[in-house]
């Protein structure tokens, strides 16, 4: 088993509003949650979890992991597929502010999650995401479809993922920001005990390849490429 190493905490301040957004990973909570989820909860609930493409996970570059979103189980499936026990890298999660409440919110906050209003994303959440990626080694999970969809169709993507990635890309760093497409499929629309899961990890997109004169045009092009990558993953049997 990979040893879990202490991670840094990050806090950023929105210069316009003055609101500080904190993101942290608690080493002792991670030591419990990762093994418990990967070796007990998921294997007991799901009949089979198949993961392909782990060789595509970048080893050191800053990464936005962009999975399809089909169930609340995705919050455990993504770390199972690409998290510390597989890649030796922890994950940060941009999650709906409705989910960061109560005990669940306590766990999410200590596992690297931070809130965002999915209808009207705050500048502090966007800024924090950009700063995390600029640190040069973070893996940030953002669901590009925005919400959960209980079907097998790739829905229109929000341009926020591409915009954040492009703004985080900088010529001052030797490490290039990547976007990693991840397709998650369940054998049932609403996962129940005995459901099977298929996770396909695609080839990463190098954000610097999409830099252009206009952030809007670059984000549109990058969003289209990400959409096509996710569609190809869903075509894999």
Q: Which percentage of the chain shows pLDDT scores above 70?
A: 85
- Top pLDDT among 23 and 131 is at 131
Structural domains in the chain, CATH included, are 16-235 (3.40.1130.10)
- Please name the residues in contact with 14: beta carbons below 8 A apart, sequence gap of 6 or more: 20, 21, 122, 123, 124, 127
* pTM to 2 decimal places: 0.86
**Sign for the pseudo-dihedral over CA of 201, 62, 156, 121:** positive
Q: Which two tokens stand for residue 170?
A: 């900088």
In terms of Cα–Cα distance, which of 216, 230, 88, 89 is closest to 159?
216
**What is the model's pLDDT at position 112?**
83
Distances (CA, A) of 22 to 64, 71, 227: 18, 26, 30
β 113-116/91-96 pair status: parallel
Confidence label for 170 from pLDDT (cuts 50, 70 and 90): confident
pLDDT digits (tens, 9 = 90+) for 96-135: 777 667 776 777 788 888 877 766 667 888 889 999 998 8
């Amino acid at each position: 088993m990979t040893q879990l190493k202490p991670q840094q905490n990050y806090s950023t301040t929105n210069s316009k509003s003055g609101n500080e957004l904190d993101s942290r990973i608690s080493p002792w909570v991670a030591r419990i949650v990762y093994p418990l989820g990967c070796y007990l909860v998921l294997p007991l609930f799901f009949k089979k979890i198949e993961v392909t493409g782990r060789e595509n996970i970048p080893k050191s570059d800053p990464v936005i992991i962009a999975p399809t979103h089909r169930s609340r189980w995705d919050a455990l499936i993504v770390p199972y597929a690409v998290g510390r026990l597989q890649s030796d890298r922890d994950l940060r999660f941009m999650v709906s502010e409705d989910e960061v409440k109560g005990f669940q919110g306590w766990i999410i906050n200590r596992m690297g999650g931070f809130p965002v209003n999915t209808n009207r994303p705050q500048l502090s959440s966007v800024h924090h995401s950009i700063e995390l990626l600029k640190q040069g080694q973070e893996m940030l999970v953002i669901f590009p479809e925005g919400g959960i969809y209980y079907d097998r169709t790739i829905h229109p993507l929000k341009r926020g993922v591409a915009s954040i990635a492009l703004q985080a890309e900088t010529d001052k760093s030797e490490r290039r920001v990547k976007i990693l497409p991840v397709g998650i499929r369940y054998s049932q629309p609403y996962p129940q005990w005995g459901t099977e899961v298929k996770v396909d990890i695609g080839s990463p997109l190098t954000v610097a390849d999409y830099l252009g004169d206009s952030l809007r045009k670059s984000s549109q092009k990058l969003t289209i490429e990400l959409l096509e990558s996710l569609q190809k993953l869903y075509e894999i049997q």
